[in-house]
Chains A and B, each alone.
Chain A
């Protein structure tokens, strides 16, 4: 069974979002996503400063089997990216909600975050798959 931590927000394309104390948003892929992809061997993250539109394909994660786009779950500007992933993409498998975060962003509209699925909503969605 996939882990779906409480306190995070989720989208149906299997990204998670966390609101930090300073109002910035951290984005990653869910446990369900990493398990479905298998061993991850390459991660490409967006450039710091890039302005992302909602649902824009802005990052790529590649497993031994396939490449998958990661979509910006909300609009905003990239503030920081996880530089560790270039040399250690496997942390996306081992710690998708922690060390395996992809990027931090400043949301264009803080309310966008609130409208997303909570843990219970994402779990219900996973059950429907």
Chain B
């Protein structure tokens, strides 16, 4: 059978040069070539299958990716996402800077701890990255950005920052752990420092609390309730061990991908990148058009595209048997075309789903080409699954 080890284990590499990650490393090469998170030894101890993900040696699964997926939908699972980067921005004009830098508007954040999802755009509205911005206080914000894009994000942000006298610090001393699922908060709360527990319990969605360097946010990438914790490496490892003892299932990036796809969340480098703008990537909702005089990077280009996008972005459900993957061709009854950007098996739905970019004028019955055969698909509006329930 067509068993190509690197290929079979490979996940999309967000923002990473094509082909990287398909390389076969010897153990020594692997050790010196790839970056390690603070939990790397834990992944090895737990016999995780490790892959090169954007230059990091990361667990794609521990035992069964399906079991890991279902644990997050039904109970609680945890993900080492310390390959993503926390960037701290400070300065008296930091809010003004972010209102210029980001397509969403941090002016919406009026309470310290509140968070916002946004695209980081080029002048031509190509998406440099997607990120979460946390409002810490009037002179401090924290951004969490993707692993594969960290270096170019830093370069871009640092190029814009001096005009606003904002300083940018990558917090390599901190790591990120996501604990997700209906029981995630109940498992994490008793393990938090006393000073933080009550405030963490009171968090609403997209809000964070912190005590010193212990930072907890009610955010995630799975469509379930839960926390993302940003902690010094030693504390991160201690919390991981306590959660493991409390029965929280370690989950790899494979389950993270099927969970986010069911949740209808975009993956950078796959569903959008610098060659695509937010309006053709299902991200129009993240653009803050008001107030009209807010001059953010990419605004002029977006204003021209608004209402004239050549593409739209949709969800797909395969009616029959088979699995949709990324980059499969689509055709419509009226002759319009399209392509899947992400696709796979949805374990909660037990059928295949996809995200797709289609021509704006597409109408009528839609078919996807899977290995030379055209099969009927149904167009839906993501998300597919939210809080354990099918929405399609």
A residues in contact (CB < 8 Å) with B: 13-15, 29, 33, 36-39, 41-42, 44, 57, 60-71, 86, 90, 129
Q: How far is the CA of A71 from the CA of B3 in the complex (A)?
A: 11
In the assembled complex, the CB of B12 is this many whole angstroms from the nearest CB of chain A, namely 11
Binds A, one of B80-88, B92-100, B161-169, B318-326: B318-326
> What does the 1/0 interface line of B8-19 toward A look like (CB < 8 Å)?
111100000000
Interchain residue pairs A-B with the least CB separation, the first 7: A41-B345, A69-B2, A39-B66, A70-B1, A68-B2, A62-B323, A64-B65
Q: How far is the CA of A64 from the CA of B257 in the complex (A)?
A: 10
Q: A39-B64, A62-B345 are in contact. Are A67 and B323 (CB under 8 A)?
A: yes
**A residues near B329, Cβ cutoff 8 Å:** none
In the assembled complex, the CB of A108 is this many whole angstroms from the nearest CB of chain B, namely 21
Whether B284 is near chain A, meaning CB under 8 Å from some CB there, is no
Q: How far is the CA of A110 from the CA of B21 in the complex (A)?
A: 42
Instruction: Assess whether B1 is in contact with A15, with CB atoms less than 8 Å apart.
Output: yes
Instruction: Assess whether A42 is in contact with B345, with CB atoms less than 8 Å apart.
Output: yes
B252, closest chain A residue (CB): A38
In the assembled complex, the CB of B69 is this many whole angstroms from the nearest CB of chain A, namely 8
Instruction: Assess whether A36 is in contact with B5, with CB atoms less than 8 Å apart.
Output: yes
**B residues near A67, Cβ cutoff 8 Å:** 323, 325, 371
Q: A38-B65, A42-B345 are in contact. Are A14 and B1 (CB under 8 A)?
A: yes
Pairs A–B under 8 Å by Cβ, sample size 11: A15-B1, A36-B8, A38-B8, A41-B66, A42-B352, A65-B10, A65-B60, A65-B65, A66-B8, A66-B10, A68-B2
**A residues near B49, Cβ cutoff 8 Å:** 38
Q: How far is the CA of A42 from the CA of B352 in the complex (A)?
A: 10
Q: How far is the CA of A71 from the CA of B8 in the complex (A)?
A: 16
Whether B118 is near chain A, meaning CB under 8 Å from some CB there, is no
Q: A38-B65, A69-B2 are in contact. List 17 more A-B contacts (CB 8 A).
A: A15-B1, A36-B8, A37-B8, A38-B64, A41-B347, A64-B65, A64-B66, A64-B258, A65-B9, A65-B10, A65-B11, A66-B10, A66-B325, A67-B323, A67-B325, A67-B371, A90-B66
Q: Which of A33, A36, A42, A65 contacts B321 (CB 8 A)?
A: A42
In the assembled complex, the CB of B66 is this many whole angstroms from the nearest CB of chain A, namely 4
In the assembled complex, the CB of A106 is this many whole angstroms from the nearest CB of chain B, namely 21
Q: A64-B347, A66-B10 are in contact. Are A38 and B254 (CB under 8 A)?
A: yes
Whether B91 is near chain A, meaning CB under 8 Å from some CB there, is no
- In the complex, which of the residues A41, A64, A129 has the most CB atoms of chain B within 10 Å of its own CB atom? A64
Instruction: Assess whether B3 is in contact with A65, with CB atoms less than 8 Å apart.
Output: no
Instruction: Assess whether B8 is in contact with A65, with CB atoms less than 8 Å apart.
Output: yes
Q: How far is the CA of A54 from the CA of B321 in the complex (A)?
A: 27
In the assembled complex, the CB of A7 is this many whole angstroms from the nearest CB of chain B, namely 21
> What does the 1/0 interface line of B352-390 toward A look like (CB < 8 Å)?
100000000000000000010000000000000000000
**B residues near A57, Cβ cutoff 8 Å:** 2
Q: How far is the CA of A86 from the CA of B9 in the complex (A)?
A: 23
**A residues near B1, Cβ cutoff 8 Å:** 13-15, 29, 33, 61, 68-71
Q: How far is the CA of A39 from the CA of B371 in the complex (A)?
A: 21
In the assembled complex, the CB of B170 is this many whole angstroms from the nearest CB of chain A, namely 31
Q: How far is the CA of A87 from the CA of B14 in the complex (A)?
A: 33
Whether B61 is near chain A, meaning CB under 8 Å from some CB there, is yes
